[in-house]
Amino acid sequence: MKKLLSVAAILIVAFSVMAQPVQETAQEKAQEKAQQTAQTPTTQVFVDSLGREVELPVDIQKVAPSGTMAQVIVYQIAPEKLCGLASSLTGMTKEIYLDAMADLPVLGTLYGKKANLNKETVIMAAPDVFIDVGDIKKGSAEAMAEDLDKIQKDIGVPVIFLEANLDNYNEVFTTLGNLLGYTERGQQLGKYAEEALQYATTNPVEGKTVYLAVSADGLSTYTAGSSHSQAVEKAGVKNVITSDLTQSNGMVSLETLYTINPEYILCVEPSAYDTIMNSAEWQSIDAVKNGNVYKVPNIPHGFVTGPPCTNRILGLFWLTNVFYPERSVDIVSKTIEFYSLFYHYELTQEQAKAILYMD
């Protein structure tokens, strides 16, 4: 009996000795992991397009857009990270966006003629970052930086601005992809945008002229050199309207149009098409006489402007088909491809043709 107890005691001691290094190793690993976690930064400093240094979370889960342009580009990269919309979704636009988007709160827009941002709603949405995308506003980078600093203080959320246009969409998609944890997707969309731009900018420059009709009566327009005109200019066509030809509200007279006599008219506002084609006052203009008046596709957003967002990437192909049919692509297939890649939506042939006003 004593011998058995001695053996048992020896075994207990042996097991205790063997277990001790294992326990110490497990404790060491737990401590090492805790140290690594403590050392992993939870914030990052992001320098936006205004040169502002803004502290952001490393892991961004919720994004509030400042307006439609920011909403679109964030949606195209990481739709599940949107915590609000600039405006409510309706009609075909609502169908194209993922179902979950319809349940998000409407935040309003920070800038523009219809600015109506609801700061309280933004605060309640609890975003990790508030993003503005597009042109520099408030007249200068300095003034806009001051304005965004104020907004940031008001809502208690980091606010950043990314200047975005057809020339730098590749960079913008890449930057936002990295920021939102979707590096590969950002690069994929950026590459597509760059290839579209390269395709359009190889169009021959033949001095073709265009007028943009942006109101139902056709007499409100956008001037050359503006972001609203960038897509047609990148496609190698001259916008005939310069700032000296318009009134302060962007209106022009028919007499002015008779004088400049554009070869093409693009109806950014679709209802302008019927006005222009059916009114005797417009019939002497070359674009009308030659049947070169087109409705600009605008679902879910404009191909040329309205607003000047990333749908203009597809718009570059559409514009090339309009102005240079000898270089045309299968625009129905291209539209289906674009909506699948950028909007996570599979269009049918019939839907694509309806969007393109081909029905």
The structural domain count of the chain equals 2
* Rounded mean pLDDT, 119-134: 98
Evaluate whether residue 154 is within a structural domain.
yes
Residues 75 and 179 in one domain: yes
pLDDT recorded at residue 80: 98
Q: Domain containing 220 — which CATH number?
A: 3.40.50.1980
Residues 67 and 164 in one domain: yes
| Per-residue model confidence as pLDDT tens digits over 225-265 | 999 999 999 999 999 999 999 987 889 999 999 999 999 99
SS3 call for 240: coil
| Residue 227 main-chain phi, psi, to 5 deg | -65, -30
pTM passes above 0.85: yes
Range of the domain at 143: 43-191
Positive or negative, the CA dihedral 91, 97, 99, 104 is negative
Residues 91 and 177 in one domain: yes
Residues 271 and 171 in one domain: no
Residues 49 and 176 in one domain: yes
Residues 219 and 184 in one domain: no
d(C-alpha 238, C-alpha 211), whole Å: 9
| Residue 157 main-chain phi, psi, to 5 deg | -135, 140
Residues 164 and 233 in one domain: no
Residues 139 and 272 in one domain: no
**Average pLDDT value for the chain:** 91
pLDDT recorded at residue 236: 94
DSSP state of 108: -
Residues 47 and 187 in one domain: yes
| Per-residue model confidence as pLDDT tens digits over 62-80 | 999 999 999 999 999 999 9
For the cut 80, the answer to whether the pLDDT of residue 224 exceeds it is yes
* Rounded mean pLDDT, 170-185: 98
- Higher per-residue pLDDT: 37 or 142: 142
Q: How many residues would you count in the chain?
A: 359
Among 157, 191, 225, the domain-final residue is 191
Residues 268 and 221 in one domain: yes
Residues 186 and 265 in one domain: no
Evaluate whether residue 211 is within a structural domain.
yes
